[in-house]
């Protein structure tokens, strides 16, 4: 049985987090979010006009997310650049995780584009991406009812833990499950819940509990980073 985590963290301890807002001056909003060795950049453009025209919705605006791991990210094995099945799925779930907070009624017929790029990855990329994207959306001045925080939870053997690294996700000695969660920062309502592996009902409940606690810490860091951009120096 696993007594200690591979990198010496406690089971409910997050990796070192760094967050910064407004790092891409040309974008309408942008943010960087780093969790250990996982690094995500998010840039937001818009609301801007949407073409081709058949995509437009006259009742409300559209949120478009694009998640991309850079070819050199990960283990160093070169990946074919551009989208693949996985990135398409993560773009989709990211969009669904962010949609509940964004007020789309503000911009009918228009679009807000969110681009998430990951230059370096060590598991938990969709969570880092969602954290960065929600900060970038706020920075872009989009009306949103809350910030979205995301954290991965999981299980190795019978131990539940948060914020898994790649080595933990790929742990061979014992069975592993991993469950990314995205939730609203203030209310804790869940906007994304995926599960890879097996968890019992009790374990899921506990994992969500752990995730919510960790999420609060991330929420504080996000809030601080957003305020820091405008602090008087």
Partner 1 sequence: MTNLFVKNKDIVVPGEELATGMDYLPGFGTYRDSDKIIANRLGLLSIDGRAIKVVPLSGKYVPKRGDVIIAQIKDITLNGWILDTNSAYSAMLQVKDAVSEYITKGADLTRYFNFGDYIVCKITQVTSQKLVDVTTKGPGLKKLQHGRIIKVIASKVPRVIGKQGSMIGMVKQATDCRIIVGQNGLVWVSGSPKDELLAVKTINKIGQESHISGLTDRIKAFLEKESGKKITAVVTE
Residues that bind partner 1 (CB under 8 A): 28-29, 46-49, 58, 101, 103, 106-111, 138-147, 184-186, 222-223, 226-227, 230-232
CB of residue 219 to partner 1, shortest distance in Å: 8
What DSSP element (H or E) covers 215? helix 201-230
CA–CA distance, 157 with 175 (Å, rounded to integer):
5
Alpha-carbon span 115 to 225, nearest angstrom: 19
For residue 213, the minimal CB distance to partner 1 (Å) is: 18
Calculate Rg over the CA atoms of the chain. Answer: 18
Name, in order, each residue with C-beta under 8 angstroms of 196's C-beta and a sequence gap of 6 or more. 177, 178, 179
- Between 176 and 225, CB nearer to partner 1: 225
Distance of alpha carbon 94 from the chain centroid: 7
Q: Which is nearer to partner 1, 43 or 164 (CB)?
A: 43
Residue with tokens 């131990």: 159
Give whichever of 88 and 229 is closer to partner 1, judged by the CB atom: 229
Residues 6+ apart with CB under 8 A from 213: 12
Nearer to partner 1, 161 or 183 (CB): 183
Yes or no: say if 27 and 44 are a contact pair by the CB < 8 Å rule: yes
Closest approach, Cβ 231 to partner 1, in A, equals 7
Over the range 198-207, which residues count as b (16 or more CB within 10 Å of their CB) and which as e?
Answer: ebeeebbeeb
> Shortest gap between Cβ of 64 and partner 1 (angstroms)?
13
Between 54 and 230, CB nearer to partner 1: 230
Q: Is 109 or 203 the residue whose CB approaches partner 1 more closely?
A: 109
**Closest distance to partner 1 from the beta carbon of 129 (Å):** 18
**Extended strands (E) in the chain:** 17-21, 29-35, 38-49, 62-69, 110-120, 148-156, 159-162, 176-184, 190-193
């Amino acid at each position: 049985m696993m007594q200690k985590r591979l990198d010496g963290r406690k089971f409910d301890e997050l990796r070192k987090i760094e967050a910064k807002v407004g790092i891409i001056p040309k974008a309408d909003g942008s943010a960087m979010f780093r969790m250990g060795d996982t690094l995500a950049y998010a840039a937001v453009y818009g609301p801007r006009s949407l073409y081709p025209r058949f995509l437009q919705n006259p009742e409300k605006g559209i949120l478009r997310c694009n998640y991309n791991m850079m070819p050199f990210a990960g283990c160093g094995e070169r990946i074919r650049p551009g989208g693949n099945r996985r990135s398409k799925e993560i773009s989709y779930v990211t969009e669904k995780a962010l949609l509940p907070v964004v007020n789309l009624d503000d911009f009918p017929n228009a679009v807000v584009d969110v681009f998430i790029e990951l230059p370096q990855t060590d598991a938990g990329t969709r969570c880092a991406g969602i954290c960065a994207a929600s900060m970038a959306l706020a920075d872009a001045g989009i009306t949103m009812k809350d910030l979205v925080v995301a954290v991965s939870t999981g299980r190795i053997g019978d131990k539940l833990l948060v914020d898994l690294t790649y080595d933990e996700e790929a742990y061979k000695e014992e069975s592993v499950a991993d469950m990314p969660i995205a939730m609203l920062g203030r209310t804790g309502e869940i906007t994304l819940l995926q599960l890879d592996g097996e968890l019992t009902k009790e374990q899921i409940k506990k994992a969500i509990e752990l995730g919510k606690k960790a999420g609060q810490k991330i929420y504080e860091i996000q809030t601080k980073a957003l305020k820091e951009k405008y602090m008087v120096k």
